[in-house]
Chains A and B, each alone.
Chain A
Amino acid sequence: MSLETQISDLRAEITAAIEAAETEQSLDAVRVAALGKKGSVSALLATLGTMAPEDRKTAGPAINGLKNEIAGLIEARGSELRDKALEARLAAETVDVTLPLQPAPTARGRIHPISQVMDEIAAIFSDMGFSIAEGPDIETDYFNFTALNFPEGHPAREMHDTFFLKPGADGERKLLRTHTSPVQVRVMQKTNNPPTAGYITPPIDPPIRVVMPGRTYRNDSDQTHTPMFHQVEGLVIDKSSHIGQLRWVLEEFLKAYFEIPDVTLRFRPSFFPFTEPSMEVDVQCDRSGGEVKIGQGSDWLEILGCGMVHPNVIANAGLDPDVYQGFAWGMGIDRIAMLKYGMPDLRAFFDADQRWLDHYGFRPFDLPTLFAGLSS
């Protein structure tokens, strides 16, 4: 048999074997049978050593050509088989990605609207240089009324529907604060020094700029009144602040809080024992759509009370009312939350119905800031 016939037979045989190999393993067996030490092509190469030099000149390239050709075919078939194997694996590993997940914890947990609104209020007033002051919920008659210029027996006292605690061992009758205003007194008053608990804001020397959010209590209950509610109070004391600046602070606050470009306020003279002059403030609104829209329309909605801090209150705190002056305001946190976010019933705020919390609550990372926006 001539060498050429030998080579072509061998090529045909090996090529067929390569094509028949369906796995990398069987392909490797073909490689060993052809190109391994004892393989058919290797055996043929070994014959070169016994050949005459002239024969070797032609036979060498021919046999080496076969070797390289076979090696190339095996490589190509190997690559083909690997691709197929990968494809098969990928097909086998395919899953239904539409299967639903358990919701992430951050998708389930919600912040109560009252906390969110308190954070919104803090964000806005921090920009105007205010800090947050606090006092206790259980107060004395002195801080809740007397120091705030409520005369003993005055109808204004009775209008507060005060909750009283049973008298203690010392016979003193404490009460649940009916407003956050006692904190004003604590902030201004030197005799409060030092506070007996870490959370109580120590007295501040003027200039004072504080906001005072917190729980308040009145013996009253219907759709818009609950025996416990939340108020936020503001206080500015220095040597020059007046009603013109009070108007500016309230306008700026309400614009920022309701996230509207403009707001019209109506100031009505009113009466609070601890401010003089006193005013109630109505905000322009539109009630036509069944939902209250702040900053539009031609209706008015009472939203807060305010005034210049009463000289008696300043004097009660140990400051000279002819030197120090300033203003204070207060509003319901729950109420402005209802106005901004549209909850119809105040009582539901305190029911902890999971459906309500999930609907009206806020995501844990909805952090109200001025740099990123109050609400998303």
Chain B
Amino acid sequence: MKFTLDWLKEHLDTTASADEIGAALTMIGLELEEIEDQGKAFSEFVVAHVVSAEQHPNADKLKVCKVDAGSGEILDVVCGAPNARTGMKSVFAFPGTYIPGKDITIGKGVIRGQVSNGMLCSAMELGLGNDHDGIIDLPADAPTGQRYSDYAGLKGVTFDISITPNRGDCTGVHGIARDLAAFGIGSLKTTDMSPVPSTGTSPFAPLPHQFAPGEDKTIRKFAGRYIRGVRNGPSPAWLQRRLRAVGLRPINAIVDITNLVSLGWGRPLHAYDAARIVGQPVLRNARPGEELDALDNRTYPLDETMTVIADDVGPLCLGGIMGGERSGVVEETVDVFMECASWDPQLVARTGRKTGIVSDARYRLERSVDPALTEPGLELATRLVLELCGGEPLEPVVSGEDTPPAVVIDFPFSEVERLTGLRIAADEIEAILSRLGFAVEGAGFTRKVTVPSWRPDVTQKADLVEEVMRMVGVDKVPVDPLPRLHHVAPRMLTTIQNRRRVARRALAARGLDEAVTWSFIPHEEAVRFGGGAESLQLANAIASDMTDMRPSLLPGLLAAARRNAHRGRADIGLFEVGQVFLSDAPEGQHTHASGLRTGTARLTGAGRHWQGDAKQVGVFDAKADLAAALDALGVGIDKLQLVAEPAAWSHPGRGGRVQLGPKIIVGWFGELHPAWSEAMDIDFPVAAFEIDLDALPEPRKKPTRSKGALDISPLMPVKRDFAFLVDRSASAASILRAARGADKTLIEDVTIFDIFEGAHVGEGKKSVAIEVTLQPRDRTLTDEEIEKVSGAVVAAVVKTTGGALRG
């Protein structure tokens, strides 16, 4: 909300400087966003005479003007404004002038081959409104070379403050002045809002409220006044200046008065040209199909939840939001019907949202406007109309009820100290509340505090504590340590929280960079990765490629890999630890730790190297990352089932799945399916994995952290090698499992050290060589014992695989 120091001083008697006021505004919760000295800001703009305006030789829409800006020379200036013409007066900025509306400093330039020594400015370029149809058109008698700020009376200090949504009372200068006065910056001035005597009866009856029982009714109380025979026209210079200073365009005296009251007292009004109202105006909800041609020159479709002021022809005004073009007040208006009404803030907000209209009236009314100001506001408006435009005020017409119940709060003053730690004397608390307009009654521990009509946001004790605290200053609250725990802090992270942290560090330690990608992905990608359900689609996505909650981290990582590849980085490793969404229920959210390697980005390095070039990434790189992460998480991959049933995204013969059982799937790994690569425009090798951290079992709670006794044998282990010829489909895991199971006490380890296929071992066959480590426990093994175990190993592998020991 913008206002000027002059305007504030009409409501506040103060000697405080602008800076003092600015600081006070922030300290009481009316945050100062900007303070601007307009005299300074516009001091470099001058009134200029456009000596001539000729067509630009090289551009249809540009003109080359000769401009006299009073500097003693005639300047060439290129101008794109349609209204630039020979002989006009406008506002000129010399090179080096800062243009506030564009946030640029204008320089000397050459535009399409023509030199331009400055700029002729529109009101918008000056930051003085929204008028950008052309450059400012000044009267012919404006003195060339005069400072525009002096000419237009643009001087003085402007404040721009941000108003929190609870403070409807501060959407007018008067409310701001009241807060400042309560804080001790001067004293509040009052305005005469007493009734203005009428000169006759109104041609309109009080507006009937035509609503069916139970219908949503935005109107609470409507006060209107017919003022006959006004002389409308441009408003006086002081009023125009005031409105311009806060970014409003003066229209005519009557309309400017409504804006003055709206901004000055936070009391929106609406003025109708009474001659254009057909029949008796009424209050009702809009009918299906009705529209309003509004004052912003747009047409809005209305519906039956929206209350309108209508006449025999149709809607005149969308209640609480914006008036209609048909009955708008123009300079020729002679009879005015002035409205000051009380509306339901929630329903105004709803209509505002539905229509998308942003207006000064809606801004105030949806935050609440003092209901006690409905009739006084109308009197104030009448007085101003009589003052500026004359006319005969007829009887006001009032209909509806708006007497909100008085809010009385039982307020123990001790609440202030309980909630803030601030100790304040009772009479000071009482004084603060009184200055803010609260009535404090009673004596002793708990007082009765009556809330003023303009503060519907205050409903309970804590609200009063805030009032007291903001007037004292939060900085006065003594800093007090939060008591420390009387024990060593307990574990802070849960298992899943710690697992995410560990997974991140473990994967980064394998040379992968952690990415954080969007939770929403394109619909097509969501569907491809098994998601895309309607309940996981955004109803109001911000972009067409951010529509669906992701079912997997891989689409985001693949897109990131593709972006990096397009930047010339095709050998990278990325991972993400983050949420995926399998349903819209809380339990449908899982945390995955997923990653990928592209090109030749292997654990040992990427690209060409004198120690040996890195090979393309493959399924075993992905498996190794998955295994390393799982191991860091305390779940050895050898404790899990590994099955050759890869994810849909994986090459079917180069991927796998790890699981605790067929129902509890822990993760997937593999090379990206060639068809998926093609569909996703990925032209480099990708090896990827996914781990569902929520599928990992919670570690068993043990009564002790003891690791058990270490059992080491003093005897030398014995190693024996075996080579088997098996079917190509026989899995390494089954061979290892069979060999290990041959003697559970003696066999300590089995590893595969060689594997090959080829014509010499036979079509569809492969040779697998294993090394078995036997660990004697209490005595050295005899040859017979070793032979026995060897026989058992061979028998077990042959039985499992149907293969044979190679000779």
Contacts and interface: CB of A to CB of B under 8 A. Distances in A.
Interface stretch (B24-32, B54-62, B146-154): B24-32
B512 interface: yes
Contact of A153 (B166, B346, B543): B346
B419 A277 contact: yes
Nearest to B567: A353
Contacts of A152: 346
Contacts of B165: 154-156, 159, 271
Name the residue in A127, A165, A267, A270 with the highest tally of chain B Cβ atoms < 10 Å from its Cβ.
A165
Interface string A190-229: 0000011111110000000000000101011100000110
Contact of B609 (A102, A158, A241, A242): A102
Given A102-B604, A155-B366, A126 B492 contact: yes
Contact of A228 (B474, B508, B518, B585): B518
A365 interface: yes
A352 B539 contact: no
A243 interface: yes
A91 interface: no
A99 interface: yes
Contact of B514 (A110, A153, A243): A110
Interface stretch (B289-297, B400-408, B446-454, B459-467): B459-467
Contact of A109 (B507, B584, B604): B507
A138 B460 CA distance: 32
Contact of A108 (B367, B491, B511, B579): B511
A132 B537 contact: no
A117 B729 CA distance: 48
Interface in A86-117: 99, 102-106, 108-112, 114-115
Interface string B699-714: 0000000000000000
A200 to B, nearest CB: 6
A223 B192 CA distance: 48
19 contacts: A105-B509, A105-B510, A112-B515, A115-B514, A129-B484, A153-B345, A153-B349, A165-B584, A166-B538, A168-B584, A174-B535, A198-B496, A243-B422, A251-B479, A269-B470, A277-B419, A277-B470, A352-B557, A357-B514
A164 B538 contact: yes
B353 A245 contact: no
Contact of A114 (B350, B516, B541, B611): B516
Q: Which 8 A-B pairs have the closest CB atoms?
A: A102-B605, A244-B421, A269-B29, A271-B164, A277-B466, A105-B511, A352-B560, A244-B480
B474 A271 contact: no
Interface stretch (B243-251, B370-378, B586-594, B795-803): B586-594
Interface in B542-582: 542-543, 546, 549, 556-557, 560, 563-564, 567, 569, 572-574, 577-579, 581
Interface of B: 26-29, 31, 164-167, 345-347, 349-350, 353, 366-367, 417-422, 460-463, 465-466, 469-470, 474-475, 477-482, 484-485, 489-494, 496-497, 501, 504-520, 534-543, 546, 549, 556-557, 560, 563-564, 567, 569, 572-574, 577-579, 581, 584-589, 591, 603-606, 609-611, 694, 698
B535 A165 contact: yes
A269 B474 contact: yes
A363 B505 CA distance: 9
A268 B162 CA distance: 12
A196 B586 contact: yes
A340 B562 CA distance: 30
Nearest to B366: A155
A198 B694 contact: yes
Contacts of A159: 165
Nearest to A173: B539
B509 A131 contact: no
Contacts, number: 291
A248 B482 contact: yes
Contacts of B470: 269, 277
B513 A197 contact: no
A249 interface: yes
Interface centre among B417, B481, B489, B515 (most CB of A within 10 A): B515
Interface string A238-267: 000111110111010000000000000011
Given A132-B492, A352-B560, 6 more contacts: A102-B609, A227-B518, A241-B482, A243-B422, A243-B474, A267-B474
A199 B589 contact: yes
B603 A105 contact: yes
A266 B475 contact: yes
Contacts of B512: 109
Contacts of A271: 29, 164-167
Contact of A155 (B349, B417, B573): B349
A24 interface: no
A169 B533 CA distance: 11
A122 B492 contact: yes
A166 B475 CA distance: 46
Given A199-B694, A215-B519, A244 B422 contact: yes
A311 to B, nearest CB: 5
A103 B571 CA distance: 14
Nearest to A186: B586
A127 B479 contact: no
Contacts of B485: 129
Contacts of B477: 243-244, 247, 267
A46 to B, nearest CB: 49
A351 B563 contact: yes
B555 to A, nearest CB: 12
B536 A165 contact: yes
A14 B261 CA distance: 128
A200 B589 CA distance: 10
A357 B420 contact: no
A197 B586 contact: yes
B154 to A, nearest CB: 28
Given A155-B349, A159-B165, A248-B479, A196 B574 contact: no
A173 B579 CA distance: 21
Nearest to A127: B489
A112 B514 contact: yes
Nearest to A269: B29
A108 B604 CA distance: 10
Contacts of A151: 346
Nearest to A327: B419
A151 B346 CA distance: 9
B475 A267 contact: yes
Nearest to B605: A102
A299 to B, nearest CB: 13
A199 B494 CA distance: 8
Contacts of A267: 474-475, 477
Nearest to B363: A155
Contact of A276 (B462, B506, B519, B564): B462
A325 B414 CA distance: 14
A163 B462 CA distance: 31
